[in-house]
Chain A
Amino acid sequence: MDLNYTPEQDQFREEVRKFLADNLPDDIRQRVKQRLRPTKEMTQRWQQILFKRGWAASAWPQQFGGPGWDAIEQLIFEEECAVAGAPRQLDFGLRMVAPVIMTFGNEEQKERFLPGILSGEDWWCQGYSEPGAGSDLASLRTTAKHEGDHYVVNGQKTWTTLGQHADWIFCLVRTSSEGKPQQGISFLLIDMKTPGISVRPIIMLDGEHEINEVYFDNVKVPVENLVGEENKGWTYAKFLLGHERTGLANVGQWKALMNRLKELARESRDGQRPLIENVRFRDRLAQLDMELRALELTVLRVLTNESGPGPQASILKIRGTEVGQALFELLMEAMGPDAIAHIPDALDLGYEGPRVGAADAAPAAGDYFNMRKLSIFGGSNEIQRNIIAQMVLGL
Chain B
Amino acid sequence: MNFNLTEEQQMLQDSLRRFLSNEYTFEKRGQIIHSGKGVDETTWRAFADMGLLGFTFPEENDGLGGNAIDTMLVMDSFGRALVVEPYLSTVVLCGGLIRDAGSDSQKAAILPAIAAGEHLMAFAHSEPGSRYNLSQVVTTAEKTGDGYVLNGRKTAVLHGSQANQLIVSARSHGDIADPEGVSLFLVDRNANGLTVRDFATHDGHRTAELTLDNVQLNHDALIGEQEKALPLIEKATDLAIAALCSEAVGAMEALNEATLEYLKTRKQFGVPIGKFQVLQHRMADMFIATEEAKSMAILAASEADSDDREERRRALSMAKALVGQSARKVGQDAVQLHGGMGVTDEMLAAHLFKRLTLINLLFGDADYHLGQVSDQLLAATA
Q: Is B200 an interface residue (CB 8 A)?
A: no
Interface of A is mostly: helix
CA A287 to CA B373, docked complex, whole Å: 8
Residues of B contacting A287 in the complex (Cβ-Cβ under 8 angstroms):
370
Contact with B along A283-306 (1 / 0, CB 8 A): 101110111011101101100100
Contact with B along A325-359 (1 / 0, CB 8 A): 00000000000000000000000000000000000
CA A279 to CA B373, docked complex, whole Å: 12
Q: Is B164 an interface residue (CB 8 A)?
A: no
Q: Is A272 an interface residue (CB 8 A)?
A: no
CA A100 to CA B361, docked complex, whole Å: 50
| Closest A residue to B72 using CB positions | A1
B292 touches A392 (CB 8 A): no
CA A233 to CA B45, docked complex, whole Å: 60
Contacts across chains A and B counted by CB atoms under 8 Å: 129
Q: Is A319 an interface residue (CB 8 A)?
A: yes
Size of B's binding interface in residues, CB under 8 A: 42
Minimum CB–CB distance from B274 to chain A (whole Å) comes to 4
Contacting residue for B374 out of A9, A279, A291, A294, CB 8 A? A279
Which residues from 295 to 331 on chain B have a C-beta closer than 8 Å to any C-beta of chain A? 295-296, 298-299, 301-302, 318, 321-322
Given A293-B299, A304-B2, A395-B260, CB of A388 within 8 Å of CB of B288: yes
Minimum CB–CB distance from A332 to chain B (whole Å) comes to 19
Minimum CB–CB distance from A370 to chain B (whole Å) comes to 25
Given A1-B69, A6-B1, A301-B3, CB of A389 within 8 Å of CB of B281: yes
Given A72-B1, A295-B292, A300-B3, CB of A3 within 8 Å of CB of B370: no
Contacting residue for A290 out of B5, B280, B302, B373, CB 8 A? B373
Q: Is A125 an interface residue (CB 8 A)?
A: no
Residues of A contacting B298 in the complex (Cβ-Cβ under 8 angstroms):
1, 3, 297, 301
Q: Is A265 an interface residue (CB 8 A)?
A: yes
Given A2-B1, A266-B381, A286-B377, CB of A386 within 8 Å of CB of B280: yes
CA A282 to CA B380, docked complex, whole Å: 12
Contact with B along A363-395 (1 / 0, CB 8 A): 000000000000000000010111011101111
Residues of B contacting A262 in the complex (Cβ-Cβ under 8 angstroms):
377, 380-381
Residues of B contacting A279 in the complex (Cβ-Cβ under 8 angstroms):
374
Q: Is B35 an interface residue (CB 8 A)?
A: no
Size of A's binding interface in residues, CB under 8 A: 46
Contacting residue for A2 out of B2, B283, B293, CB 8 A? B2
B283 touches A294 (CB 8 A): no
Contacting residue for B322 out of A274, A294, A388, CB 8 A? A294
A298 touches B374 (CB 8 A): no
Q: Is A28 an interface residue (CB 8 A)?
A: no
Contacting residue for B288 out of A1, A282, A315, CB 8 A? A315
Given A4-B1, A388-B284, A388-B287, CB of A293 within 8 Å of CB of B302: no
Q: Is A318 an interface residue (CB 8 A)?
A: yes
What are 28 contact pairs spanning A and B, CB under 8 A? A1-B2, A1-B9, A2-B302, A4-B1, A72-B1, A262-B381, A279-B374, A283-B371, A290-B318, A290-B321, A290-B322, A290-B370, A293-B299, A293-B318, A297-B295, A298-B292, A301-B3, A301-B294, A301-B295, A304-B3, A315-B287, A388-B284, A388-B287, A389-B277, A389-B281, A389-B284, A392-B287, A395-B275
B residues neighboring A (CB under 8 Å):
1-5, 9, 69, 260, 263-264, 274-275, 277, 280-281, 283-285, 287-288, 291-296, 298-299, 301-302, 318, 321-322, 370-371, 373-374, 376-378, 380-381
